[in-house]
Amino acid sequence: MQLEYIGGFQVFIGVLLRFWPVWIALALVLGASITFKARLGLYGQLFNSYVGVAGVTICLFWLFTAMFASTIAPFNPLAQILVMKDALPGAVEPQSGHTFLFGGDRLARDIFSRMVYGSQIVLVIAPAATMFALMVGITLGLPAGYYGGRVDTILSFLANLVLAFPVILLFYLLVTPGIMDTPIPYAMAGVFFLFPIIFFCTLFYTRYRHRPQLLAIQLGVTLLLGGWIYAGLVFNADPLRIIAIRPNELNIFVAVVFASSPGVFRIVRGLVMDIKTRDYVAAAQTRGESPWYIMLWEVLPNARGPLIVDACLRIGYTTILLGTLGYFGLGLAPESPDWGTAIKEASRLLRSHIHPALPPTIALMSFVLGLNLLADALREQSLKD
């Protein structure tokens, strides 16, 4: 069947129009943020520099793209329309009349739709895995830096042991399909996913231990929500079927948390060793506050600036990692629309027109660029403070 095509300018306008909910959401959020930036603390301060505005805009663009993916994408990312196999950009699908704006891949799937839905995978896995890595690194880094001595020696040795292992080989071992037949990833996930529960229980206990009624409510909510999420992630036993994770995604979570936690640990340890010498820490010790209270409520808040910057950078590193694993066919399922898999599939096609690997590549690059710009802006604000 002979396909109809639209011109390059029409493709460009078509792409812009498909993102209409993103443009509306960006206008509303950025307009409100700039108007009320004086009341928005650190987030509002980002709008005092062009770098901060650019970083926030790019990150929000992909966040809203992930949120409105079903509206933006004209096709199901897994749907195969045989007549559109290897279609060039601008090809019109005969049955629906919609356009394959970036063309079709070798399995007759819409490249534009797959790029849009790929943002959902990145914006769920990368930030979530990074947050778990931060929880592990912070929970272990605080006592190592504060107590020093044997505690610091043991925890630092374990962190250095992981850091000494080749990263690429480490990820390859943790995300190969055969490892899911062993209990190793589930056991590691069971340990790592306990850290947020331990962290927040300790946080609330040290703050409200003299107010038992309020403490009981906070611990109850923490244990209920934490146990619910823990059961869904580790045992796939959420009775409401809301919290769940596929085995291959669990692999990636475990790999990212295991490899990133030592780096966070070393940053937190160094910050604590510096902050614990400050006068306000000595004042808290004089008041008779417990060590964990001082660590969580005196030291950690004053280390938040570098940790927020590091979190932004680590989300970018994790995004690149997901793309690398997808390109090599590791981690996510082969039919996944994640950007790395899309780049791998597109790299097998040779065209004289726009290469089909460009859209997912530019998407990955732009998201990481936005995170790096955001981290730079946050670093500048932390230096001013």
Supply the DSSP string of 84-150, one letter for each residue: GTTPPTTEEPTTT--EETT-B-TTS-BHHHHHHHHHHHHHHHHHHHHHHHHHHHHHHHHHHHHH-HH
- Residues 70-74 have a mean pLDDT of 93
Rounded mean pLDDT of the chain? 87
Question: According to the per-residue pLDDT averaged within each range, which of 3-7, 168-172, 317-321 is highest?
Answer: 317-321
- Residues 165-174 have a mean pLDDT of 76
- Residues 293-297 have a mean pLDDT of 94
- Residues 131-148 have a mean pLDDT of 94
Cβ 359 vs Cβ 38: under 8 Å: no
pLDDT for residue 354: 62
- Residues 147-157 have a mean pLDDT of 93
Query: Three-state SS across 338-381?
Result: CHHHHHHHHCCCCCCCCCCCHHHHHHHHHHHHHHHHHHHHHHHH
DSSP 211: -
Q: Which of 26-35, 96-105, 241-250 has the lowest mean pLDDT?
A: 241-250
User: What are the residues whose beta carbons fall under 8 Å from the beta carbon of 95, sequence distance 6 or more?
Assistant: 81
Number of CB atoms found within 10 A of residue 31's CB: 10
Confidence of residue 67 (pLDDT cuts 50, 70, 90): very high
pLDDT at 352 over 50: no
pLDDT for residue 5: 84
- Residues 181-196 have a mean pLDDT of 84
- Residues 368-379 have a mean pLDDT of 92
Cβ 66 vs Cβ 119: under 8 Å: yes
pLDDT at 130 over 60: yes
- Residues 262-274 have a mean pLDDT of 94
pLDDT for residue 256: 85
Quote the pTM value: 0.88
pLDDT for residue 351: 54
Comparing C-alpha atoms, which of 80, 105, 76 is closest to residue 347? 105
pLDDT for residue 348: 64
pLDDT for residue 64: 96
pLDDT at 350 over 60: no
pLDDT, one tens digit per residue, over 256-265 is 888 889 999 9
Comparing C-alpha atoms, which of 200, 153, 174, 156 is closest to residue 257? 174
pLDDT at 128 over 60: yes
Helix, strand, coil proportions of the chain in percent (round to 5)?
75, 0, 25
Structure tokens at 275: 């902050």
Q: State the Cα–Cα distance between residues 201 and 191, nearest whole angstrom.
A: 16
Confidence of residue 331 (pLDDT cuts 50, 70, 90): low
